[in-house]
Every structure is written in C-alpha cells, then in structure tokens.
Amino acid sequence: MTSQVDQSEAVDGSDGEGRSGPVSPPGRHGRPAKPIRRLDRVIIRFAGDSGDGMQLTGDRFTSETASFGNDLSTLPNFPAEIRAPAGTLPGVSSFQLHFADHDILTPGDAPNVLVAMNPAALKANLPDLPRGAEIIVNTDEFTKRALAKVGYAADPLADGSLEAYHLHKVPLTTLTLEALKDSGLARKDAERAKNMFALGLLSWMYHRPTHGTETFLRQKFAGKPDIAEANIAAFRAGWNFGETTEDFAVSYEISPASLPPGTYRNISGNLALSYGLIAAAERSGLPLFLGSYPITPASDILHELSKHKNFGVRTFQAEDEIAGIGAALGAAFGGALGVTTTSGPGVALKSETIGLAVSLELPLLVVDIQRGGPSTGLPTKTEQADLLQAMFGRNGEAPVPIVAPATPAECFTAALEAARIALTYRTPVFLLSDGYLANGSEPWKIPDVGELPDLTVEFTTEPNRPDGTFWPYLRDPATLARPWAVPGTPGLEHRIGGIEKQDGTGNISYDPANHDFMVRTRQAKVDGITVPDLVVDDPGGNARVLVLGWGSTYGPIAAAARRVRADGGAVAQAHLRNLNPFPANLGAVLRSYDKVIVPEMNLGQLALLLRAKYLVDAQSYNQVRGLPFKAAQLADVLWAAIGNLDEEDNR
C-alpha cells in the first residue's frame, strides 16, 4: 500500500497516553451516532491458534493503517511448527501493531487492546496487558475442555479475574456462522472466516479503510469466488456488529502522522532487503544471482527475488546450504552480483566457502537473518547472537566486513551499502539482519532512483603488466582490491582456488613471508574500507551516559532515550551500522562519556569487541528471550546508570 504525505515536518512524538475528545459523526441506518474518542496512538495484539489466521489479520489491519497514513511498527510472533497443537500455549500465534499520529519507534511495550480467539491466547498474553486494557474474546471457544487444556480451573470470563480490564465477550464463531448461513459453505469452512469478522470489528473501532481488504480477499481467492465472498461477508458483518452492538459504545480515531513529504508504503525488512538487492544490481549494471537454501526467517527473500526475472534476477534453490553459497560464489567469479541468504545454522555450513571467497577476493553478499540458537534453536524468534560468528567464524585469518540495518526500512539501504563494499573492495560482506526486522514492518519512503548510489563496476579487459601479461592479484593502491576479470576474456586467463596465492601473480605459494604478507594485506583491505563516522544523538551536549547499540535494538533504545529525556534525564545515543570495520571516530566517542551501556539480544558480543579494541569499560545489558527489548525496560537501565554516576559524585 502506498500513500502520499504532504506535511513538511515529522513530529517527535512521546510515548505518553493518548489524547481524547468525543466527536459525533452522522449515524447510519437511522441510529444515533456513537461518540468517537481521538487518540494519538494505540497498540493492538491479535492472538489465537497458529491456524486462526492471526498473521493475515494483523497484516491486513497493518496495510489499511499504512494506507491511512499513520506511522506504525509491527511485531509478528508465531510458533516454529507449521501447525502447532491447537488450543495450547505453545501453539499461540500473535501479531502486534503499534500505530500513531506521530513518529514511533517500536511495536510497543504493552497492548492497549487484545483480541483473544481462545483461552490459550488469553492466558499466554494476559501478563503483558496493563490495567484498563480492552480484551475482546471469542466466547465460543471458552469450553470446559479448552479451559482445562491450558490449566484454567475456572472460566476467567465469569470468575471476576478480569475485572481490571474492559472485557468484551463476543461469540465470534457463532456470529460468523450466522453471517454466512446462506453462503453454501460447510460449517468448517465458514468458521475459518471468524478472523475476518474480528478484523471487521477492529476496523470499525479504529476507523480503518475497508476497500483494500475487500480487494485483497478477491485477489487472494480469485480461483474460489465463493470463499472470497464469504470472507468479505464476514468482514462486513464484523464492521456492522461494532456499529450496532451496545457493547462497543465508543470508536476511536488516530489521525495520520506528520511525515516528510513523499510516497510511502508499508514494508517488511525482508521485502526491503530484497528490493535493496535488486536496486544494487541495477545500479551496478550486474545480473543478480541468489544461491540459497530455504531457512526461517530468511526464506522470504528467496520467494520475493524469484518474482523479479524481469530485472535479470536469477534464483537458485539449492539442495543444501553449501551448494547455495558455492553457486553464488561461482556466479561472482562469472561476473554477477552473487548473493546467498541464510540464518545462523546455515552460516556455520557456509563458513568454508566464505573463507574461500576471502582468499579469492571476490564480491559476495552473505545475508544472515539471525534467529535464536544454538543449533536449530528458535526458528521463528529473534536474536542477534551471530555477530562473533560473522566476525571470526572461519579458519585462519579471514576478515569480512559486516553491515547491520537498524530498522525494517533500513534493510534497503543496508543492502546497497553491503553491495558497495563488496564491489569496491572485492570481498565477501556479511549483512546481519534478524527475525524482528525481517518480519516486522514500518512505513518506507520510496526513494528517488536517481539518488541511489552509483555502483557501476568496470571489469578488467586488458593485461595489466608492461610485458602484456595479466596478474590477477595486482592491487588497486587506493582500495587494495584485485582486478575482476570475467572468465573467457582473451589474454586474462588465470587460476583460482583455496590454496594461498603469491602476491601479484596469483600462483600457488607456500612461502612463509608471502603468506604473512597476504594475510596482512587482506586485513588491511578490510581495515581501510571507508564507512561513515558514528553519529551521536546528544541534544543537550551534557550527557555523561552513552547508550550504544547495533541492529534491531535501535527502536527500543531510541524510545528509551526519549522517555529518559522527557523526564528530565540526560543521555546520549549512538547506533552502529558498520561493525567491521568500526567507524573511525568510535574510539573517541566511547572515551568521551563516563559510562557506556550496550544493550544486546545476546550475552555481550559487541561489548566484548569494544572492550578488547578500545579498552573502555563498556557495560552490557543483555537478554536472549526471542523477543525484542521493551522501551520501559531500557529506560530503567539508563536511569540506573545516571543515578550511579550521581552517587559516585556525592561520595
């Protein structure tokens, strides 16, 4: 979905409570209009069995919210099993959406509204709800058997345990079946539309557009028009239920956000990364080749790129991870922009070929969409624990540049940056995203193609020695990159392989001095890569605490810094996009603050590198729960750091 935004300035919104003010629109069907309460933000979570369509429901609500013009951030959360056990806590699938009339940074800490399709969904998500939150439950699923399956001794809808919340008991299944009684569908098929009934109800509550969803359903079920019309009927029934029932006395309105002018669309991290790879190929003039083996949460990139043969994209679904990267490296040797996508377990299998790419000094993009580990770990949960694997996970001295996007939309520019480094310096490059960025989404301002970086590559076509010979390891003195000669170019025949090369000639060499020189040269090439300086956000210029992050921790860290500043605290924030090499000014930045806090979704991997390289007392704050940090959680950490410094000053 795209939308035009005409405002000239973005609003620096807070994380406070929503504004409210009743407004009465004209009524429909001759009924008195219900009052509308205006809010500045809301957080909604849809939850149910993995077969209840919660991801689809959340995605459709998100698309309509994006077309309306709100700023938004999403957090899909689902089991690894294709069809997890129905009605159980491990089988709960959820989708959280935070949308607002101002700039926001995270999917939100705690939902204002929970839609629970069964007892398992209620029990799994209730601990996250603040007092006063609204709960919409499908009462048809609260049977004795379903309650017992998740350990409820009594029905929570009747025992008073939910008195702290605004509870809406809605027989979603019954109402859906009633709406579809003339559809001709079997009961089981009709029941599946209850998620569309819920979507219609929430669309009424928050004044979401409806045309896009109806168009989507007709396209999705184009081959089954009876299914399409049944889902649309359920969707409309949910909308009408909200308007007519006495249980929902108020609807809510969140105005569009004030964003810089341009054309926007909602985009997930994996989709943005896919578009970034295509853009990199177009701007370099090279064909794009993806050699990949399906693995969660990276598979969507393979799926998306396979749709774009019109851009010269070639995708190869290999029989395993090793074959995938082998094909990608072969494509790079042949003059293509070679890419391989995977997650942490796949990186382990690809490590030998990454080392080969280091030795061959060919451009190759290794895209790692990180997930919980070790081993198979948590396939559908997020983590950022592959940093040290990307940095050191190969035999010998095999340095590889590392780029890490901070937001879903930033995955686009990260792909371009990774391609720039790989093509300019003739090296494999790691791009470290993660499950949170890959599956989450936000508004993305579609860039002007003419403003994208020029990545044009000039292949070597002539001998590079005075005697008319070609040396494949004769380097560019500015970048230390070796020439890139496409196989078959007359007079430029050369040998490649994994055994150490002689400097210049590329012949096999076992000479100790040459090996030492080549190892140091490859390291110097990576160390010499030009990356932007680290930018520090320190509004008052008097902060003594710096919070430094990388990757998907950006949103929670930035939201926490906003909270601290709004309450009168001083804190500086910086975020690393280039992790190897580090920005040239990083050491000076770290040493200019009394305390450095490094939040990571691992056990302190970046902090370890910072402490080793810069000899600073970088203090880790870590969690590995498969979920992103909460802003309130990090705000408490920052306040504690500020308080500790004040205590030290008073001693």
Degrees, nearest 5: CA angle 407-412-417: 105
Q: How far is CA 373 from the centre of its chain?
A: 18
pLDDT of 195? 97
Q: pLDDT-based confidence at 22, cuts 50/70/90? A: very low
CA 487, 488, 493, 497 dihedral sign is positive
Contact of 49 with 91, CB cutoff 8 Å: yes
pLDDT of 32? 55
CA separation for the pair 329, 336 (Å, rounded):
9
The string of pLDDT tens digits covering residues 53-92 is 999 999 999 999 999 999 999 999 999 987 788 999 999 9
Tokens standing for residue 174? 């019954």
Long-range contacts of 488-496 (CB under 8 A, 24+ apart): 489/459, 489/460, 489/461, 491/462, 491/463, 492/460, 492/461, 492/463, 494/470, 496/333, 496/360, 496/472
pLDDT of 648? 86
Other C-beta atoms within 10 Å of 3: how many?
17
The string of pLDDT tens digits covering residues 516-525 is 999 999 999 9
Give this prediction's pTM: 0.93
On the question of pLDDT at 185 being above 80, the answer is yes
The string of pLDDT tens digits covering residues 276-314 is 999 999 999 999 999 999 999 999 999 999 999 999 999
CA separation for the pair 56, 60 (Å, rounded):
6
State what percent of residues in the chain have pLDDT above 70.
Answer: 95
pLDDT of 34? 87
Other C-beta atoms within 10 Å of 86: how many?
15
Q: pLDDT-based confidence at 649, cuts 50/70/90? A: confident
Tokens standing for residue 424? 């300019």
Strand partners, 42: 99
* Mean confidence (pLDDT) of the chain: 94
CA separation for the pair 378, 202 (Å, rounded):
31
pLDDT of 25? 40
* DSSP secondary structure code for residue 316 in this structure: E
Name the phi and psi angles at 293, rounded to 5. Answer: -120, 130
Strand partners, 316: 291
Q: Is 479 exposed, middle or buried (0-12, 13-18, 19+ CB in 10 A)?
A: middle
* DSSP secondary structure code for residue 76 in this structure: E
pLDDT of 75? 97
Strand partners, 252: 37
The string of pLDDT tens digits covering residues 126-160 is 999 999 999 999 999 999 999 999 999 999 999 99
> Which tops the pLDDT comparison, 13 or 621?
621
The string of pLDDT tens digits covering residues 310-340 is 999 999 999 999 999 999 999 999 999 999 9
The two beta strands, 41-49 and 92-100, are: antiparallel
State what percent of residues in the chain have pLDDT above 90.
Answer: 92
Q: How far is CA 637 from CA 136, 384, 563, 621, in A?
A: 34, 20, 12, 8
Q: Which residues contact 202 (CB under 8 A, 6 or more apart)?
A: 44, 61, 113, 115, 208, 238
CA separation for the pair 577, 564 (Å, rounded):
24
Degrees, nearest 5: CA angle 416-421-426: 130
CA 602, 606, 612, 618 dihedral sign is negative
CA separation for the pair 331, 471 (Å, rounded):
21
Contact of 108 with 129, CB cutoff 8 Å: no
Question: Any idea of the CA torsion for 384, 385, 388, 391, to the nearest 10 degrees?
Answer: -40
Helix 410-425 / helix 269-284 crossing angle, nearest 10 deg: 40
The string of pLDDT tens digits covering residues 442-497 is 999 999 999 999 999 999 999 999 999 999 999 999 999 999 999 999 999 998 89
* DSSP secondary structure code for residue 458 in this structure: -
Contact of 266 with 408, CB cutoff 8 Å: no
The string of pLDDT tens digits covering residues 372-393 is 999 999 999 999 999 999 999 9
